[in-house]
Amino acid sequence: MRIAIGGIAHETNVFATTPTTLVDFRLGSPTPDFSGGPAVLGHFRGTRTIVGGFMEEATKHNWDLRALLWAFATPGGTVEQSAYEFLKGKLLEQLRAELPVDGVLLDLHGAMVTERLEDAEGDLLAAVRAAVGPQVPVIATLDLHANVTAHMIKEATMLIAFDEYPHTDMYERGLEAGRAMAGMLTKKITPEVAFEQLPQLTLPPMQCTLREPMKTVLAKAHELEQTPGVVNVSLISGFPFSNIRDTGVSVIVTANGSPEVARRTAREMAEFIWEKRDEFMPQLTPVRDAIAYAETARGLVMLADGSDNPGGGAPCDGTVILRAFIEAQVENAAVICIHDPETVERAIAAGGGGEAEFEIGGKTDNLHGAPVKTRAYVRLLSDGWYVREGAMGGGVRECFGKTAVLAIGGVEVVVTANRLQPYDTGFPRSLGIEPAKKKLIAIKSAVHFRGTYQDLAEMIFDADTPGVHRPDFAQLNLTRVRRPIFPLDPNVKFE
Ligand SMILES: [Zn+2]
């Protein structure tokens, strides 16, 4: 059997002021020229990633894998139309060169917005479907933050979303997609798909599956997956910051041979989430309250600066917490991290052990606090390489680019040249910062950091800070979402 695999993945935050370009996708592609083939396979072989999961199943079934391009850009602003058209054109050209294929496995995110397309994945899946014809199974994995549309459902044979947030099950979902493909190729599975779109929005802190109510909701999904005839239950939280019509919570159920089983199961899952809708309201804590709490705490207190989470498209150079820490003269605190290549260069010029005047952060826009003008001590310089420790891509080497640790009194701030979400404890440890021994840590992550930090922290607060990824319905300007929708319209009914 000849199976094509590939992926174009982006989570678009339309409120971010910097557009996402082809260069951003190039930085996240194993092949800078967006070629497919053995280089893509070599990159993922043996990794706990989606494609790693596809490949594991392919080996088991002795499939002839034909790799198309794989391109990922760090979440950010609207994708330039030309970048999307280029990647789509290239992927289709590569796919046509491999035809005929028996199946297609795609690694998608599901929340990509371009200058002209709200639903880029629907467009991409339609193009892939047109190329392979109506009979060939096209299975795609989606992020838990996908905004699923009826168009995507129509064009794909099956869609499988991550269960977990932090996304620690990417490899397992890749395996599951491969298993479903094997079932379809041997005619053991006749997929029947049901889709329920709820009139409901939720925000990142409360989408976390380590916390309630999502812990219980996920357990229900796993229970429903045991129903005879059910192949997969995907409950998708959605990504409100894409601001499209179809943003929000949805459920996809794939059953074997029975549309009725699919429909009934999807409805039961959807109603289960809907009943809990009042439990999804984030509570944001003022920074000064968290600082006050830390004064009497015995262990580590953390502030999740989700509003400035680069993993949700924010610039990661917000300064509100850093300024508050400095003004409060807190001791044994760290800010991980601020994306500011200019400050890193200045620190390198001053040298390790040197001192200089800096203007830290606040340079991308005026939505995340002004630059912090201060004298600081350069405690450490690094090339930014480290190895991930946690379940999200554990063992993977990652680079934050040139990195400086600056000290301002009792506050250490990690400043990086690359814009990446610092969710893994391996990063500060590579810089001589032991998180467990800190009193206060502010982190530019909404939820993923809990994967490695949660067990070290006595208390974690979702910080009340400004930004383009602020988890706050009162300030989210969702102009394009379908109405009525909860909680914007509190009395909406789920029909
Ligand atoms: Zn996600």
What the block records as the tokens of 95 is 């796919």
Read off the pLDDT band of 396 (50, 70, 90): confident
Share of the chain above pLDDT 70, in %: 100
Contact 412, 392 (CB under 8 A): no
CATH number of 2-280: 3.40.50.2300
Quote the ligand 1 centre to 134 CA distance (angstroms). 30
Taking the C-alpha atoms of 216, 219, 220 and 223 in order, what is their torsion angle to the nearest 10 degrees?
-160
How many CB atoms neighbour CB 38 within 10 A? 12
Quote the ligand 1 centre to 309 CA distance (angstroms). 12
pLDDT at 48: 86
Across 398-415, b (16+ Cβ under 10 Å) vs e yields bebbbbbbbebebbbbbb
Quote the ligand 1 centre to 32 CA distance (angstroms). 24
Quote the ligand 1 centre to 409 CA distance (angstroms). 36
pLDDT at 387: 92
Quote the ligand 1 centre to 116 CA distance (angstroms). 23
Residues present in the chain in total: 495
| Over residues 355-364, mean pLDDT | 98
> What angle (nearest 5°) sits at the alpha carbon of residue 457, between those of residues 453 and 461?
95
Read off the pLDDT band of 394 (50, 70, 90): confident
Quote the ligand 1 centre to 466 CA distance (angstroms). 21
Quote the ligand 1 centre to 353 CA distance (angstroms). 39
Q: Could you list which residues have their CB under 5 Å from ion ligand 1?
A: 143, 145
| Over residues 151-155, mean pLDDT | 98
Measured in whole angstroms, the distance separating CA 381 from the mean position of its chain's CA atoms is 28
Q: What is the SS3 string spanning the chain?
A: CEEEEEEEECEECCCCCCCECHHHHHHCCCCCCCCCCHHHHHHHCCCCCHHHHHHHHHHHHCCEEEEEEEEECCCECCECHHHHHHHHHHHHHHHHHHCCCCEEEEECCCECCECCCCCHHHHHHHHHHHHHCCCCCEEEEECCCCCCCHHHHHHCCEEEECCCCCCCCHHHHHHHHHHHHHHHHCCCCCEEEEEEECCECCCHHHHCCCCCCHHHHHHHHHHHCCCCCEEEEEEECCCHHHCCCCCCCEEEEEEECCHHHHHHHHHHHHHHHHHCHHHHCCCCECHHHHHHHHHHCCCEEEEECHHHCHHHCCCCCCCHHHHHHHHCCCCCEEEEEEECHHHHHHHHHHCCCCEEEEEECCCCCCCCCCCEEEEEEEEEEECCEEECCCCCCCCCEEECCCEEEEEECCEEEEEECCCCCCCCCHHHHHCCCCHHHCCEEEECCCCCCHHHHHHHEEEEEEECCCCCCCCCCCCCCCCCCCCCCECCCCCCCCC
Read off the pLDDT band of 395 (50, 70, 90): confident
Quote the ligand 1 centre to 260 CA distance (angstroms). 30
Read off the pLDDT band of 440 (50, 70, 90): very high
Quote the ligand 1 centre to 210 CA distance (angstroms). 14
pLDDT at 46: 87
Quote the ligand 1 centre to 452 CA distance (angstroms). 16
Quote the ligand 1 centre to 1 CA distance (angstroms). 32
pLDDT at 344: 98
pLDDT at 302: 98
Quote the ligand 1 centre to 75 CA distance (angstroms). 10
Quote the ligand 1 centre to 438 CA distance (angstroms). 28
Quote the ligand 1 centre to 459 CA distance (angstroms). 23
Quote the ligand 1 centre to 59 CA distance (angstroms). 28
Quote the ligand 1 centre to 214 CA distance (angstroms). 14
For the chain, domain boundaries: 2-280, 287-462
Quote the ligand 1 centre to 408 CA distance (angstroms). 34
Quote the ligand 1 centre to 167 CA distance (angstroms). 7
Quote the ligand 1 centre to 184 CA distance (angstroms). 28
Q: Is the peptide bond before 487 cis (omega within 30 degrees of 0)?
A: yes
What the block records as the tokens of 273 is 């989430």
Evaluate if residue 392 carries a pLDDT over 90: no
Read off the pLDDT band of 466 (50, 70, 90): very high
Quote the ligand 1 centre to 147 CA distance (angstroms). 11
Quote the ligand 1 centre to 143 CA distance (angstroms). 5
Read off the pLDDT band of 410 (50, 70, 90): very high
What is the pairing mode between strands 2-9 and 64-72?
parallel
Read off the pLDDT band of 390 (50, 70, 90): confident
Residue where the block lists tokens 């150079």: 317
Read off the pLDDT band of 391 (50, 70, 90): confident
Quote the ligand 1 centre to 249 CA distance (angstroms). 13
pLDDT at 155: 98
pLDDT at 216: 98
Quote the ligand 1 centre to 484 CA distance (angstroms). 25
| Over residues 184-193, mean pLDDT | 98
Quote the ligand 1 centre to 19 CA distance (angstroms). 19
